[in-house]
Amino acid sequence: MHEYAVTQSMVRTAVEEANKANASKILEIRLVIGDLSTIIDDSVQMYFDIMSEGTIAQGAKLIFKRVKAEFKCKDCGEVFIKPPKGFDCPKCGGLGTPTDIGKEFYIESIEIE
């Protein structure tokens, strides 16, 4: 449900930045979303469609770029992409812990006219 708040903030930021650039319309917003952020693309899209109505962002295309979660093994120090199931290190089988890669949620770019 936190998609509501992050989408609201994203719309506000995109519109503010577009206004600073004297844009008449936002055509596209590129978002970077880490797999560990638990943000669901479809929910962001749904809220965006509602929240952008009547703004210069209305009708803009959202592009979602997903970042795979990176883990680091507590035992051997190996850095690896989280496997589909579990958190085991592919090198030694030890337990991996999350790094900062995969927690992202930010606007990468905004295309305006």
Per-residue model confidence as pLDDT tens digits over 14-67: 999 999 999 999 999 999 999 999 999 999 999 999 999 999 999 999 999 999
- Please state the φ and ψ torsions of residue 70, each to the nearest 5 degrees: -100, 140
Q: Is 34 within a domain?
A: yes
> Could you tell me the residue range of the domain that residue 41 belongs to?
3-68+102-112
Q: Which residues are annotated as a binding site?
A: 2, 73, 76, 89, 92
Q: Which residues are annotated as a binding site for Zn(2+)?
A: 73, 76, 89, 92
The domain that holds 52 is classified in CATH as: 3.30.2320.50
Number of domains in the chain: 1
* pTM of the shown model: 0.87
- pLDDT category at 104 given cuts 50, 70, 90 is very high
Please report where in the chains the tokens 């609201």 appear, as a residue. Answer: 8
Q: Which of 24-28, 67-71, 84-88 has the lowest mean pLDDT?
A: 84-88
> Which residues line the annotated binding site for Ni(2+)?
2
Confidence (pLDDT) at 16? 97
Ranges of beta strands (E only) in 1-113 are: 26-34, 61-67, 70-73, 79-81, 96-98, 105-112
